Amino acid sequence: MLNAIDLLKTIPDPEIPVINIVELGMVRDVKMIADSEVEIVITPTYSACPAMFTIEQDIINIFHKHGIIAKVTTQIAPVWTTDWITDEAREKLHAYGIAPPEKGANKTHLEVPKKCPRCGSENTKQISRFGSTLCKASYQCNDCLEPFDYFKCH
Ligand SMILES: [Zn+2]
């Protein structure tokens, strides 16, 4: 018996390869339509993210390898929030050098990283609202002077 969730966990986020789309909270539902047909419901992290097309193709391809036709449905409501990122994925982001968003921060609009992912200092400053991708902002630590990305809350 094929575990659809396990298959989906092998698909990394195209922008942050250390975390997969399940950990990111993007996969909302998995419905077996028939023995060889499955529907995957995903919510885009950012509607403007060009990576969404890549993810959709990755899902179709990975199920195809197992002889299963995957139908990808995009669900835009309720909107994805950084609160859906699992705790394990937050740890991975931190280890990767990206300051993870705080849980519930999207509600308070607290658009600041809690601490520098390299030295743990809380003394940081924003360099740019947009980092290497739309989903991230660039910050610099005032103590170790290392620049880092912050996964923006929304
Ligand atoms: Zn630092």
Cα 20 to ligand 1 centre (Å)? 26
* C-alpha distances in Å from residue 43, one per residue of 32, 53, 72, 122: 18, 12, 10, 32
48-57, 71-80, 105-114: which range is least confident on average?
105-114
What is the homologous superfamily of the domain 4-74 according to CATH? Fe-S cluster assembly (FSCA) (3.30.300.130)
pLDDT reading at 44 higher than 90: no
Cα 145 to ligand 1 centre (Å)? 6
Cα 2 to ligand 1 centre (Å)? 44
pLDDT reading at 49 higher than 70: no
What residue spans define the domains of the chain? 4-74, 83-151
pTM given for the model: 0.76
What is the pLDDT at residue 4? 94
pLDDT reading at 91 higher than 80: yes
Residue 54 CA to residue 76 CA, distance in Å, equals 17
